[in-house]
Amino acid sequence: MIRNNFMRLALSLFVAAIFASAAVHGQTTSSAKPVRQPAPHAIQILKIESTEIKLPPAFQMAIYEDALGEVKKTGIFDEIYRDGDRRVANASDCVILHTDVRGFKQGSARERQVITVAGKTSIKVHMQVLNQDGKVLLEKDIEGKVRFFGENMRATYDLAKSIARTLKDNFQKPAPAAKS
């Protein structure tokens, strides 16, 4: 009887400890997240620059197109403009996404598919979000890679998803004004 009670007590303490640790972990992770700024109305995504690193043109355009698609998917910005779009001149509250390639390692899809752990392709970029006055609102180094499966071009999709995730972590769409 005593032993049975002891077992129940131990089990309840164990469950309580699990809940407590989960709650503490949740608090720490939520506090680690950056403070999200209210998202501007529009964003212009500029063409990917590769001044120092010579990136193949197909990769350059694939990052640009994938970034446009992934940022659109997040739904943070009402308007998304392409590089050179003349409508930006009339847009108020617009930020500019500027991306510069800092590193590129072209792996081999064949090695990845045959050996699995070899042939990684990675692209490192430095992204900046500037407002219309040229003030830097967000700056981060991010990497897109294809490590195990997929063709080399998949690294551009991974990078575009990282760009979109970074924007989502730092900007939030302002809540619609309540109707009075």
- Name residues contacting another protein, limited to 38-67 (CB under 8 A): 47, 54, 56-58, 60-62, 64-66
83 or 143: CB nearest another protein:
83
**CA–CA distance, 132 with 14 (Å, rounded to integer):** 55
| Nearer Cβ to another protein (109/130) | 109
**Residue 90 found at the interface with another protein (CB under 8 A):** no
Tokens at 17, concatenated: 């400890």
Burial of 155 (0-12, 13-18, 19+ CB in 10 A): buried
The Cα-based distances of 113 to 77, 116, 118, 151 in angstroms read 38, 5, 9, 9
Q: Which residue has the tokens 């970074």?
A: 166
Residue number with CB closer to another protein (6 or 148) = 148
Does 91 contact another protein by CB under 8 A? no
CB 42 within 8 A of CB 77: yes
The answer to whether residue 161 forms part of the interface with another protein (CB under 8 A) is: no
Per-residue contact track with another protein, 98 to 117, x per CB under 8 A?
Answer: --------xxxxxx-xx---
What type of residue sits at position 175? A
The residue ranges that bind another protein (CB under 8 A) are 47, 54, 56-58, 60-62, 64-66, 81-87, 106-111, 113-114, 119, 151-153
